[in-house]
A and B are shown apart, each in its own frame.
Chain A
Amino acid sequence: MMAQKTVLRVVTKLLVPIIVLYALYVQFHGDFGPGGGFQAGVIIASAFIVYGLIFGTADAREVLPSWVTRIMLSLGVMVYGGTGVVALLMGGEFLDYSFLAHDPLHGQHWGIFAVEFGVCLTVSGAMITIFFTFAGHVKEKFSGAEK
């Protein structure tokens, strides 16, 4: 698609790991400052979206086939809800993180960490799915209709 744009291709290749690294920073820094699962999820998704824009959606889909994004989408919800259920099993109320560890402070830490991880998974999965749905499937459908 953009085979001739060497600069774009090289810069994108360089940028993608940095974007993901920054997303991880936002993810893990979420407890102390601005950031968290949603923002990190969007940033991770943007790494794949920029890859898809430059190298074409077909290549990007090879990296993340639809079954992977579906697993991301559903696993994130499972992690979030599961954290609540674990808190319930540990004797607290649903999503009461204080019960997740012996020390309530640690429990709160673990709880928010797990929940944010779930949010990150689902949000990045959703963003990537939305992008591919609009960018990829439309073309497939049109070529199918012509036949």
Chain B
Amino acid sequence: MIEALSHNMTASDPWLILLVVVPLLSAPLCILLRSGIAAWSVATAVSWVVFAIALYLLNTVMESGTMIYRIGGWDAPWGIEYRLDAVGAFVIVIVAAIGAVVMPYARQSVAAEIPAERHYLFYAMMMLNLSGLLGIAVTGDAFNLFVFLEISSLSTYVLISLGSDRRALTAAYRYLIMGTLGATFYIIGVGLMYQMTGTLNISDLATIMPAVAETRTILAAMAFLTVGISLKIALFPLHTWLPNAYTFAPSVVTIFIAATATKVAVYILLRIVFTVFGQVDIFAHFPIQPVLMVMAIAAMFLASLSAIWQENVKRMMAYSSVAQIGYMVLGVALATETGLTGSIVHLFNHAIMKGAAFMAIGAIIFATGAVTIKDLEGIGRRMPLTMAAFVVAGLSLIGVPLTVGFISKWQLVSASLELNMWPLAALIVLSSLLAIVYVWRIFEVAYLRQPHITEHNPKIVPLSMLIPTWILALAGIYFGANATFTLDVAHAAARQLMGGL
């Protein structure tokens, strides 16, 4: 009650709601405009505005702490409250940054891959997806989070189904079934928590949770939440929807969802485990730690092994994503400040490197139509700039020093050493060797083999696609060489999560 009253005093910062409302309302605007180029202009402008708002919010949160917004002027826990803390602010910056980089890239790539009469619908869906992902990270209400989860998921299904390959429809349908299961499990979990606590507000849930934590209802809620969110994260063995979805979606969609959607799902897991159950000794009550850790390690190894045998580059990168998700969840399972820092910083780092990798692949598809490894023979000489960006991303996936991948793995290794878990540290390093194998397969084909002799040269990749690719590739080097900023934010976020609210 006292906390609710004190909310009255804090002024609601309107930018917190505008972050979600601007992209949300730009989606119907795109449809009303009924023109691909106009919709693209709106979407690009909005994505940049949203990025600026996200940076402003991150700055404010880092300087003056958690921000709160009361929707409709209703106080929490009666009304819906938006609440942005360090981890949420970091996630919205990741999502908004990828959105701002992807939208300029989208115009040419979408023009090549999607029928013109569907362009405005495509951009409307992108905007809905963006607002859904941002909404998940800013909301302080467990049910509102579900609504945003559905907004982002439903738009993702549509976006995937727009892929030019007919198998995109099956992939989208499969994701629809699995994603809906995940969302349903989440809402069942929230419903069970509501039954025991009578509230949906996340900070309110956290306050009441210790009193009811040992009941069987909450145990069931925890089980539903873990499985549901794991489906959304694509945590091994619940990842089966992901490879096809990433492979057959249009290039732009693959870039965007690979860099953002699973990250936001990891954010939900962090929110549930460390905020909703923040004041409960969750690891003593529920066997969540060993479960997450085993699944994470299995993902790191089995998904990397699967990646090695793939012939389709997009599918290889998709399996690599499943493996990288393993690292993120591993940090969560370690549940120490260093481990969480590694997890959170890896959200950012993986978004950058996978974004760059998929952008380079998208440019290659744009120029040559090649998607299998065999088609890539000698591509390093025919498209040197694009392929070089891919090399940077690939080195990052392995975790070579001076790339972002190294930063996250270093954090995770130090976290396991802090806990005296030597075998775990060894496993992290070993799994990186598997990444070398699959990344090398592409390097070898691209640089050491003779190009196919074909009558037509690859189309020239326009600057609007090349520049975003290189922005992400260079960001991968910059934040790998100078990780102070990302690590500081991730560390602040981890500390906040470990300390409860």
Contacts and interface: CB of A to CB of B under 8 A. Distances in A.
Nearest to B11: A93
A80 to B, nearest CB: 9
Contact of A70 (B14, B21, B27, B31): B31
A77 B70 contact: no
Nearest to A92: B73
A73 B124 CA distance: 12
Q: Give the residue among A71, A77, A97 with the most B Cβ atoms within 10 A.
A: A77
B32 interface: yes
Contacts of B17: 84, 88, 93-94
B112 interface: no
Contacts of A74: 27-29, 31-32, 124
B25 interface: yes
Interface string A43-74: 00000000000000000000000010011011
Contacts, number: 54
Nearest to B80: A95
Interface string A81-96: 1101100100011111
B24 interface: yes
B423 interface: no
B72 interface: yes
B14 A77 contact: no
B34 A67 contact: yes
A81 B25 CA distance: 7
Main secondary structure of the interface of B (DSSP, over half): helix
Given A77-B25, A78-B25, A88 B14 contact: yes
Contacts of B72: 93-97
A85 B73 contact: no
A122 to B, nearest CB: 9
Nearest to A95: B72
A98 interface: yes
Contacts of B71: 93-95
B29 A78 contact: yes
Interface of A: 67, 70-71, 73-75, 77-78, 81-82, 84-85, 88, 92-98
5 closest cross-chain pairs (CB), A and B: A74-B28, A96-B73, A74-B31, A95-B72, A94-B17
Interface string B45-89: 000000000000000000000000111110000000000000000
B151 to A, nearest CB: 11
B70 A85 contact: no
A88 B17 CA distance: 10
Contacts of A88: 14, 17-18
B336 interface: no
12 contacts: A74-B27, A75-B28, A78-B29, A81-B21, A88-B17, A88-B18, A93-B12, A93-B17, A93-B72, A94-B72, A96-B72, A97-B72
A136 to B, nearest CB: 18
A85 B27 CA distance: 15
A93 B28 contact: no
Interface residues of B, number: 19
Given A81-B24, A84-B21, A88-B17, A98 B34 contact: no
A95 B72 CA distance: 4
Given A78-B25, A95-B71, 13 more contacts: A73-B28, A75-B28, A84-B17, A84-B21, A85-B25, A88-B17, A88-B18, A92-B73, A93-B17, A93-B70, A93-B73, A94-B69, A95-B72
A97 B32 CA distance: 26
B31 A73 contact: yes
Contact of B69 (A71, A92, A93, A97): A93
Contacts of A93: 12, 14, 17, 69-73
A93 B70 CA distance: 7
Given A84-B21, A94-B21, A77 B73 contact: no
Contacts of B70: 93
B14 A94 contact: yes
B327 to A, nearest CB: 37
Nearest to A79: B28
A94 B24 CA distance: 14
Contacts of A85: 21, 25
Nearest to A96: B73
B39 to A, nearest CB: 11
Contacts of B29: 74, 78
A34 to B, nearest CB: 22
Contact of A77 (B12, B28, B34): B28
A88 B18 CA distance: 10
